[in-house]
Amino acid sequence: MIRAVGFDLDNTLFDHVGAAATGLASLLQEQQESKLRSMGIDEFFVSVLAIGTLSVPKPNAQAFVELCDALGCPPEEVMYVGDDPHNDAIAATNAGLHGVWLNRESLETPIGVRNQIQTLDSLVTGVTTRILEC
């Protein structure tokens, strides 16, 4: 069962607003939190993890472990969505999460990507359905 959803923020969420549980970010913590506040969606986030708050950067598995720790969920209960098939989807999957590649351009799927979506709207529908079915 999926209990939490994490997002890569830049190029995934900041280009297309949506609700999330937490986010891993490549920019400084304060910059990312400011973006969320200015978009009016900061209330949907339990936490934001950015460079400087993580002990290692993505795609290191430890970054995803720290995300799960911040959410209070084991990796198998966390879905992680990002726009980079390798640093987001495959890395999250390798760390035990449900990695999802946001493939807006309908590019060829790299080996190792198990789940992909083309829009964040389709993610919301899929996650809501899975949660309601449990």
Alpha-carbon span 49 to 17, nearest angstrom: 18
> Domain of 14: which CATH number?
3.40.50.1000
pTM: 0.79
Residues in the chain where the model's pLDDT stays below 50? 16-22, 26, 128-134
Total domains in the fold of the chain: 1
Q: How far is CA 131 from the centre of its chain?
A: 17
Alpha-carbon span 17 to 12, nearest angstrom: 9
Nearest to 99 by CA among 70, 68, 69, 129: 68
Which residues neighbour 90 within 8 Å (Cβ) at sequence distance 6 or greater? 59, 99, 110, 112, 113
Question: Measured between alpha carbons, how far is residue 75 from residues 7, 8, 38, 40 in Å?
Answer: 14, 16, 30, 28
| Structural domain span for residue 63 | 4-133
- The pLDDT, as a whole number, for residue 126 is 57
What pLDDT digit, counting tens, does each position of 5-40 carry? 888 877 776 654 443 344 555 456 777 788 778 878
Alpha-carbon span 43 to 77, nearest angstrom: 21
